[in-house]
Amino acid sequence: MPSLLDTVIAVPVRNEVERIAACLRAIDAQEGLAPGRLGLVLFLNNCTDGTPEIVAGLLPTLSIPVRVIETTYAGAHAGWARRAAMDAGAAWLDEAGAAGTLLTTDADSRVPPDWVATNLAALDAGADAVAGRVELIPEEAALLPPSLPARGRLEDTYDALITEMEARIDPDPSDPWPCHRTTIGASLSVRRAAYEAVGGMPEIPLGEDGAFVAALLERGFRVRHDRAVRVWISARLTGRAPGGVADTIRSRCEEPDALCDARMEAVPRALHRYAWRARLRRLHGQGRLAHDLAWARRLAIPEAEARRIAALPRVGEIVAAVDRASPRLAYRPLMPRQLPGQIRLARLVLPALRLALRLRRAKPVLPPVASVPSATADA
């Protein structure tokens, strides 16, 4: 009898004795899936705290098949562990003869019961990969200093405003508004074919999730940032991956005035960036990018580098390369105290932007004027 397995969740695990049980029970409680479709890979690496024993005790209680891999490696890091977990998931799908889908989350996270089904719905609607939103586990977030959730609400508000600006100025048909711009390993899903086409999860110590999504976009794959997909993540201050979420939370507790994320720029600068991205896509579509380098001069990109960029085969690669090469597009993130003023400005700009784009789309295309014979033409 052929296997029904076509979806595998891959979870890297290291020293999660306090949280792994909640993570596994949440994964096992997925709804809306036919029996036999879902499998789970647990990649236990360098565990020294009893996590393997807890996992072993839980396995008989789970309703889905689980493959547990245990290893010890002195050079382990977040990107290496997530790649190993997802590669094992891809191999399992291959054994099952399924093109299939890979999902990944973190061992200290909790997925809602519809997490897998909502990801699959977005993929079935045309995406090659789906990035989900995250929220802090409420009971853990309640223990943080009040200034941190307050800052988080400001950042979330501003992020939604500039994301709508971006989606309207430089629209992606496969990722229409409403959408978000979170990219985090706690909630990613991808078709196996797309995963393998970009060489899998980047094996880098930090930021493997963002680098993976960037690689998909540069290769022309369709990435949906679906607001309906969400995961609850830990609000702990001591994490397993240096530079991860826990380090970010702790540093913001220690330094409330730490800079916002790079993409949180002032409204005028954000609008400038999105307009340039749209213009680059338009020039590429018209075949003009390599023939007229006025765009490169305006962005202070040297001619040789501009020609190299213009020769790239995919527009996603071009846009990313221009972002990196232009000193005039260098990111200048905001200070937290600047957020309220920029939120007010964005709320003034967005209605005008929506109206201008609506009028542009509604503008009728006039037919060519027919030639009218003169009164004396037949005289």
pLDDT of residue 379: 32
| Measured distance CA(235)–CA(305) in Å, rounded | 43
Fold of 7-145+163-237: Spore Coat Polysaccharide Biosynthesis Protein SpsA; Chain A (3.90.550)
d(CA 91, CA 94): 5
CA distance 196 to 176: 25
Contact 15, 47 (CB under 8 A): yes
The pLDDT of residue 364: 65
Lowest mean pLDDT among 115-124, 147-156, 214-223, 319-328: 147-156
In the prediction, which pLDDT does 187 show?
Answer: 98
pLDDT grade for 253, boundaries at 50, 70 and 90: confident
Q: Is the pLDDT of residue 115 over 80?
A: yes
Residue 265 has pLDDT above 90, yes or no: yes
SS3 of residue 232 by DSSP: strand
| Full DSSP string of 248-301 | HHHHHHH-TT----TT---HHHHHHHHHHHHHHHHHHHTT-TTT-THHHHHTT-
Asked if 108 and 244 touch (Cβ cutoff 8 Å), the reply is no
Structure tokens at 171: 């629209």
User: Averaged over 315-327, what is the pLDDT?
Assistant: 97
Residues with Cβ within 8 Å of residue 351, at least 6 apart in sequence? none
- Residue-wise pLDDT for 30-87, tens only, equals 999 999 999 999 999 999 999 999 999 999 999 999 999 999 999 999 999 999 999 9
Instruction: Read off the pLDDT of each residue in 273-293 and give the average, rounded to a whole number.
Output: 97
